[in-house]
Amino acid sequence: MNVYTLPDLPYDYDALEPFLSKQLLELHHKKHHAAYVAGANTALASLEKARSIGDVSRVSKCTRDLAFNLAGHVNHSVFWTNLCADGGGEPTTVLADGIANDFGSFEAFKRQFCALATSVQGSGWVMLAFDPVSSRLVTLQLHDHQDCMTAGVVPLLMLDMWEHAYYLDYHNAKADYVAAFWDVINWDDVARRFDKALAPAS
């Protein structure tokens, strides 16, 4: 059976300071992200067992566990690669045009994204995504890892708004964490994801 594995970060644990301390990033990656990888594999194994013994009584619970943990794994995998040590600035190329077309301007997009991030109730994420149905960019605010997700959208840029993502460094100053995020965004990675979404496997 294929299993999920924790990807290495594409940089050292101290690479994103002062946005994220080494201690916070290491905990976030090695403990929190790793727990979602393990949880997804556990849910898959439970479903396999249920099939093998012909017991469907737990498949609903296991499927909810799979959705939560797999979304946690996918979201973090996108989030890590969205960041880099010398990031920031603004996107260029078609991504810049897409943002201007669908949000009015980069500044308007940034305001909307920040407002969604700072207004997450409980645990969640904010996401810039490409919707292939309407061929446009949208922002989503996820509860936990996956609630309020729209099927088929392609994540381009994600920000983790769970307390574990910032509390060690920022305490309750959520807006400071959101503001600092813009200095480490790897727009090349976001643009690559957008290019791929615009021209799927051809």
* Residue 160 is a binding residue for Mn ion (CB under 5 A): yes
CA distance 132 to 62: 29
Whether cis (ω within 30° of 0) applies to the bond prior to 18 is yes
In the complex with Mn ion, the residue whose CB is nearer, 30 or 51, is 30
DSSP secondary structure string for all residues of 110-157: HHHHHHHHHT--SSEEEEEEEETTTTEEEEEEEETTTBT--TT-EEEE
Residue span binding Mn ion (CB under 5 A) among the ranges 123-131, 144-152, 153-161, 177-185: 153-161
Residue span binding Mn ion (CB under 5 A) among the ranges 27-35, 53-61, 128-136, 146-154: 27-35
Residue 1, token pair as written in the block: 């059976």
In the complex with Mn ion, the residue whose CB is nearer, 137 or 161, is 161
Least distance to Mn ion, CB of residue 56, Å? 32
The end-to-end CA distance of the chain, in Å, is 28
In the complex with Mn ion, the residue whose CB is nearer, 27 or 50, is 27
Answer left, alpha or beta for residue 135, where phi above 0 means left and psi between -120 and 50 means alpha: left
In the complex with Mn ion, the residue whose CB is nearer, 113 or 162, is 162
Give the x-and-dash track for 28-57 against Mn ion (CB under 5 A): ----x-------------------------
* Residue 169 is a binding residue for Mn ion (CB under 5 A): no
Site of tokens 């690669």? 81
* Residue 102 is a binding residue for Mn ion (CB under 5 A): no
Residue numbers at the binding site for Mn ion (CB under 5 A): 32, 160, 162, 165
